Structure 1
Amino acid sequence: MRAWKSILAGAAMTAAALTAASPGVAQDQSVEDLYSGNTLTILIGHPPGGSYDLYAQLAAAHFGQFLPGEPNVIVQHMPGGGGRRAAAYFHNNTEPDGLTVAILPDTLAHIQLLTPEQADWDAAKFRYIGRFAPANSAFAIGPTAPIDSAEEMKDTQVVVACTGKAARSAQMPALLKNLLGYDLRLICGYKGSAASKLATIRGEVDMFSQNWASFAANDQADMDSGDLRIIMQAGLERDPDIPEVPLLQELTDDEEAQRILRFASSAAPIGRPMMAVPGTPENVIAALREAFQEMVTDPAFLEDAERRGAIIIPATGEEVETINEEIVSASPELIEATRSAMDASDAEETQNPGEGSGD
């Protein structure tokens, strides 16, 4: 298990910076001319302090030197709706000129398929530049939790913190409640994973979830002390850092439940990706992809990633687009079964939401 310490720093710019250039600029210039003397913005849909910010700040420190023209690189935070606000802005209001990229939720296709009323984008049109790492979610219990393993939730009630009823932090536990009959009481309204973590350690709730990369970067001391214990994870393969921790679909022998749990977890290989605006010229996409792959194999970058606690298991943009295409091609029957199983409408609301900082 990695014990790297993260050094996270927030950098905020106004939303107006995201639309600085016209869509025709990249078509008429060389990529070097496009970036020379300009600023590349990395948009994220979460506040400072979580895994999105971790990778964005890491990229901001290194990405520019690998791009023709060596632009300055900044980070723009646009939190809201678990990343949905930024995703909609990126898709609909950002010029496809190559001067804005994004690190947005791996679940954009799932959101569109399962809760289309919340998705103001077409997930099939997003262009992927590359992936920093997969994004298995991990579920941690606190020091006062009445259980020691996931299987015990069949017979013992566990109180789960979540940010919102439509958030993955609620939907994934709801799958276990609705498919496997686990005795879970969901309390939503916490302002980010940091607030959920604090509530778990204090004993206000028993369990919360976030991206494993956030645990690895920020919570090693709490895991070492036993204040946080990882008991299950969501993904298609066990994360190599926690190979002893079961996947959700491994908690049941029911084939239909396994099928739904696998589909609900199938965005984990998309992970923490860097994305380009739909319509970005192909020469710019190619340059961004080449620069990304050079960056994630650069020794100085990898040393900085280790220092910050950022897990790096990269994939190419082409590989990530293939995964995304497989998700968006899911059958209507599977989509409907998953939508029904992840219903968290009976979740309660917390009276102590805490301070916002995010996954």
Structure 2
Amino acid sequence: MINNQKVLLGAGLAALALTFAPVSIAAPGSWSSEPVRIVVTFPPGGTSDLVARLLAKHLDSDYGQKAVVDNRPGAAGTVAADYVSRQSADGTTLLLANNAPFTISPTRFKSIPYEPIEDFTHVAYIGASAPGLFVQPTLGINTVEEYIAYAKSKELAYGSSGVGSISHILGEAVDAKLGIQSIHVPYKGSSPAIQDFRAGVLDMFYDMVVQNKDMIADKEAIAIAIASPERNPQTPNVPTFREQGYDVVIENWVGLSAPAGMDAKTTETINDTVLAIFSSDEVKERLIELGITHSAMTSAEYTQFVADSISTWAPLIKSAGIVEK
């Protein structure tokens, strides 16, 4: 005999479970019949551009979503960000950007033509890479403590990829944290700085560690420390600042954003699709080669991350003396 009370109780619990069960309103896949434009804040050939092209390739091959890359460099990423903020929030225009337009430019410049939170739907976090400190092998410096001792006995100049760049901000943060003072020599990109380093013009420079792993392997440069929370698997012999007793963590992160007002379903579809692509073994391996450590975030988490980053970076930018007056 069937126990009607148990049946009713079971039916009631099932209904209750359905009522409160999390409902996914989207899944990985295409979201527009139109080609998607991925706007990049840097010119072709850089890490951000390579990530954008990797994403565009897999959107098409894995999900049938056509996508093209549109490079719009200039003004520390604000040119591209301003352009995207003015487009339709229908998912056909996305911004692939690093820290610069959202966490550096708002503090660095007197005014920018957009609000970094209010004017965007921050869709998906992709990952982060970290810069580090490189010195000439002839200096005989291998640790942060040895670097401090040397810097206090001799005036040093470091090269960066430009005023307001991640490498510049790291250089100033390291000086402040270590209690030393060095001269900043800005270049137009990391390549000319590295050329001068190789020519012996510079004693040291700051740049992305993994991108210079061949120099490290060939002993053309000594990587004193990397500014990431943990060592990078591509350069396992390069210690962090933190493990040497100095809490210096400055990462160059990259993510995907859209104009403000994009609907929740499209936002979640793009987020799910992007995370599925960058979580695949093939793509994750390529990110590792580029020095990027991938992490997953929801759109809400990424939005909060951007907001928190603005507060975190503001004092670093001010201490670097690069705030526009």
CA contact (8 A) 2:96 2:256 kept: yes
Give CA deviations for 1:280-306 in whole Å, capped at 9, x if unaligned: 222221111111122123344346556
**Which residue number in structure 2 is paired with residue 352 of structure 1?**
none
Q: Residue 48 of structure 1 is aligned with which of 44, 51, 71? A: 44
Distance 1:100 1:145 in 2: 49
Give CA deviations for 1:167-197 in whole Å, capped at 9, x if unaligned: 2322221223345332311111x22122222
**Which residue number in structure 1 is paired with residue 108 of structure 2?**
115
Distance 1:210 1:82 in 2: 17
One-letter amino acid of the counterpart of residue 150, structure 1: V
User: 1:88 and 2:82 equivalent?
Assistant: yes
Which is worse superposed, 97-106 or 176-185?
Answer: 176-185
Aligned Cα root-mean-square deviation (Å): 3.3
Distance 1:223 1:46 in 2: 26
Q: Residue 135 of structure 2 is aligned with which of 135, 141, 146? A: 141
Secondary structure of the 2:214 match is helix
Q: How does 1:1-359 map to 2 (within 5 A)?
A: 35-36=32-33, 38-67=34-63, 70-91=64-85, 93-112=86-105, 114-117=107-110, 119-125=112-118, 126-143=120-137, 147-151=141-145, 152-153=147-148, 154-155=151-152, 156-188=154-186, 190-213=187-210, 215=211, 219-242=212-235, 245-248=238-241, 265=250, 268=251, 271-302=253-284, 309=290, 311-318=292-299, 319-328=301-310, 335=314, 337-343=315-321
Distance 1:100 1:165 in 2: 29
Structure 2 unaligned residues grouped into runs of 5+: 1-27
Shift of 1:322: 3.0
One-letter amino acid of the counterpart of residue 197, structure 1: I
Q: What is the number of residues matched between the two proteins?
A: 290
Which is worse superposed, 232-241 or 133-142?
Answer: 232-241
Distance 2:80 2:139 in 1: 35
One-letter amino acid of the counterpart of residue 172, structure 1: L
**Which residue number in structure 2 is paired with residue 6 of structure 1?**
none
Distance 1:165 1:311, change over 3 A: closer
**Which residue number in structure 2 is paired with residue 17 of structure 1?**
none
CA contact (8 A) 2:225 2:241 kept: yes
Distance 1:84 1:175 in 2: 24
Secondary structure of the 1:292 match is helix
TM-score (norm 1): 0.68
Distance 1:81 1:48 in 2: 16
One-letter amino acid of the counterpart of residue 294, structure 1: A
TM-score (norm 2): 0.74
Larger radius of gyration, structure 1 or 2?
A: 2
Shift of 1:232: 2.1
**Which residue number in structure 2 is paired with residue 4 of structure 1?**
none
Give CA deviations for 1:199-235 in whole Å, capped at 9, x if unaligned: 222222222233345x1xxx33222101133212224
Distance 2:99 2:271 in 1: 18
Shift of 1:123: 1.9
Distance 1:128 1:157, change over 3 A: same
